[in-house]
Structure 1
Amino acid sequence: MGAVKTKRMPRAVREQQMLDAAVEIFGRRGYMAASMDEIAELAGVSKPLVYLYLNSKDDLFTACIRREAQALVAAVRSGIGPDQSADRQLWDGLLAFFAHTGAHPLSWSVLHLQARTHGETFAAEVTAMREEIVAFVTQLIVVAAREAHRDPDLPEREVAGLAEALVGAAESLAAWANASDSVTPRQAAATLMNFAWAGLSDLMRGNAWNPPAA
């Protein structure tokens, strides 16, 4: 193991450096296999300093999840122009989502794979992020549906399930796109728009598909 660098820097900067290293190790090796020694070495600090700043492996992992979740939500929100049409907002949001998850595959691995499978506390952090995104998508769809149906009182519950399905599809597509060297964020976003918006357009025109009678 090489000599550990002890160059002075502000605590906040050093902490972000540790989180950067932790996301890389957790994303590559998984929560259980990741070691604090590896994280400290990659961050260029001593292991006791990691514990001093972030207390424990669990606390370090939780801090990683929170930071990466906030970054993803911020990327999606900042990618959307509020004055655009509903379909344009949805397109911009999906494009921002796939661009972020594609540019940060290890971060997405932490959020989509590791955090969901290593305890309720970690999963709850991701659930909070997901609920925020679902609520945001629900609002996009319900505004468009109310305009299409000329019904300003159309309840959110009418489209809440569609938002859940859309977010779930986006999560699966992000994992698929990251596993492929040939799928761009734009292609992933277009795939989901073509799959979802055609159906949403029919629903907004009142052309709902109904199951056959029992």
Structure 2
Amino acid sequence: MGAVKTKRMPRAVREQQMLDAAVRTFGQRGYMAASMDEIAELAGVSKPLVYLYLNSKEDLFTACIRREAAALTEAVRAGVDPGLPTDRQLWEGLRAFFTHTARNPDGWSILHLQARTHGEPFAAEVAAMRAEIVAFVTQLIVAAAREAHHDPDLAESEVAGLAEALVGAAESLAAWANATPGVTARQAAATLMNFAWSGLGNLMDGRPWTPPDALTR
């Protein structure tokens, strides 16, 4: 096979081209099966150039994780208008999440599957992204709860678990939606909204569900 000829272009543009190819390859083939030769060929560059720009397969995968994580968190934040009622904010945030993961299935595969199963450094990158999204959802829910209960001092810990559960459900549902033909981002968002808001709505109205007393079970 002859050497790959590349046109001169700014380093940042070339690097993004490589990352595009890497995300596609890692997302579809998995971290272990993906090869630097395959990534270089898909990017239309030589393998030495990939190593020159991104050092190693591990560094390339880390760069992919960071780029995809930043894009997802930005999409969720950009999708929420803080001036809307709480249910609309949650709806718009969920719709932005599912729209982004549906449009970027390879990136979502990297974040949800590949990075979490190939070592602590990769998993830590995804954990940082997840923590940012959970914190964002926590703030959204706690602000609504404080307003509903007229209690500006309501602790975040009162709703932190709800945010964790909601984000976890969204992650699982996104994986299912991407693997299920015909399920749209809007449908996925509506499914989770219907599941979550009945409980959150009761909480905002001061009617939380409580476990039965141990003596009466």
Same fold per superposition (TM over 0.5)? yes
Deviations 1:46-74 (A, max 9, x none): 00000000000000000000000000011
Q: For 1:1-80, what aligned pairs fall within 5 Å after superposition?
A: 1=1, 4-80=4-80
After TM superposition, which residue ranges in structure 1, 4 or more long, deviate above 3 angstroms? none
Tell me how far 1:208 sits from its aligned partner.
Answer: 1.5
SS class of match (1:115): helix
2:207 alignment partner AA: N
Shift of 1:27: 0.3
1:111-135 C-alpha deviation (Å, 9 max, x unpaired): 0000000000000100000000000
Letter in 2 for 1:142: V
Deviations 1:103-158 (A, max 9, x none): 00000000000000000000010000000000000011001101111111000000
**Partner residue, 1:186:** 186
Following superposition, the deviation at residue 204 of structure 1 comes to 1.4
**Offset at residue 180 of structure 1 (A):** 1.0
Equivalent pairs: percent with the same residue?
80
Q: Give 1:206 deviation, angstroms.
A: 1.7
Matched, 1:99 2:99: yes
Q: How many angstroms does 1:5 deviate by?
A: 2.7
Give the 3-state SS of the residue equivalent to 2:28 in structure 1. Answer: helix
**CA shift digits 1:23-64 (9 cap, x unpaired):** 000001100000000000000000000000000000000000
Task: Tell me the TM-score normalised to structure 2 length.
Answer: 0.97
Q: Residues of 2 paired with 1:96 and 1:133: CA distance?
A: 12
> How much does 1:3 deviate?
5.3
- 1:200 and 1:82 map into 2 onto residues whose CA distance is 18
TM-score by length of 1: 0.98
Distance in structure 1 (CA, Å) of the matches to 2:115 and 2:172: 15
- Secondary structure of 1:116's aligned partner: helix
What RMSD, in angstroms, separates the aligned Cα atoms of the two structures? 0.9
What is the CA distance between 1:2 and its match in structure 2? 6.5
Q: 2:3·2:46 contact (CA, 8 Å) conserved in 1?
A: no
Count of aligned pairs between the two proteins: 214
**Counterpart-to-counterpart distance in 1, 2:141 and 2:103:** 27
Unaligned runs of 5+ in 1: none
